[in-house]
Amino acid sequence: MSCSVEEVRLSLPHIELAAHLFGPQDGLPVIALHGWLDNANSFARLAPKLKGLRILALDMAGHGHSDHRPAGAGYGLPDYAHDVLQVAQQMGWEKFSLLGHSLGAIVSVIIAGALPERINRLALIDGLIPPLGEPEGAAERMGAALQAQLTQSSKRKPVYTDMDRAVEARMKGVVAVSREAAELLAQRGLMPVPGGYTWRSDSRLTLASATRLTRAQALSFVNAIRCPAQLVVAEEGMLAQNQTLLESVPFEVTALPGGHHLHLNDEAGASAVADCFNRFFAVP
């Protein structure tokens, strides 16, 4: 991780986002998107190992050092996709590649499927399609989501007396990560408050989606992808148990040892993912 990284801020028409910029100026343009409640440091181990790429690793809206969306706005997949397209426009990248982990992989698939002419290559880490819904439950889901939005403002984020307690909480989160991974995410994700530290992320990120795609709708994005694509599946991650879905993927799928954050948990995992993607990006 001794690679030079530049901290940048992107003032978009609707929001200001923070990012890390890796790699040579003449490298192939890549926008990297992290997972839910993570931040740009998700790529701190991986990005320096990728060759010949100009990687812009975003703090997605509501995460890390990026702005939160204004009151009344949400964090839907189309909103994230819009952010990415605005970022590409500001960078002057008419065509670019996407590197996504988890939520970031899902957003990447949405963009690559909706606007296939804009994307050169698609590199995905343990993420593909969003959680699915059935048409019959749409009204109930919408009602529950609306009610949760009304009560969200009264909730307070936990405050940890010191950074180590926050790191330990992140290690035991919804998706467990190694201590080193939690420390990297905490470097960018924590902020001081009276009584200790809390996470910078927007508390609205924990709200359930008001709508969900059906399986057919989600797979329509996967099947609309026209660029070379590769999916890395963590053998102990979230996708490995869904063999039916993986067998339907119309591009290369590679299984590697490790958990959901295999690219961040340790150097061995980061190196394995980097070896895979270096071969992928090197193919003409």
State the catalytic residues: 102
Distances (CA, A) of 9 to 65, 74, 84, 90, 272: 9, 21, 14, 11, 30
Contact indicator for 181, 173 with CB cutoff of 8 Å: no
Residues 6+ apart with CB under 8 A from 166: 160, 186, 190, 196, 197, 198, 199
Cα(54)–Cα(67) distance, integer angstroms? 23
Cα(63)–Cα(156) distance, integer angstroms? 17
Select from 170, 191, 138 the least CA-distant residue to 18: 191
Select from 268, 265, 237 the least CA-distant residue to 181: 265
What token pair was written down for 138? 């749409």
Select from 156, 157, 131, 135 the least CA-distant residue to 36: 131
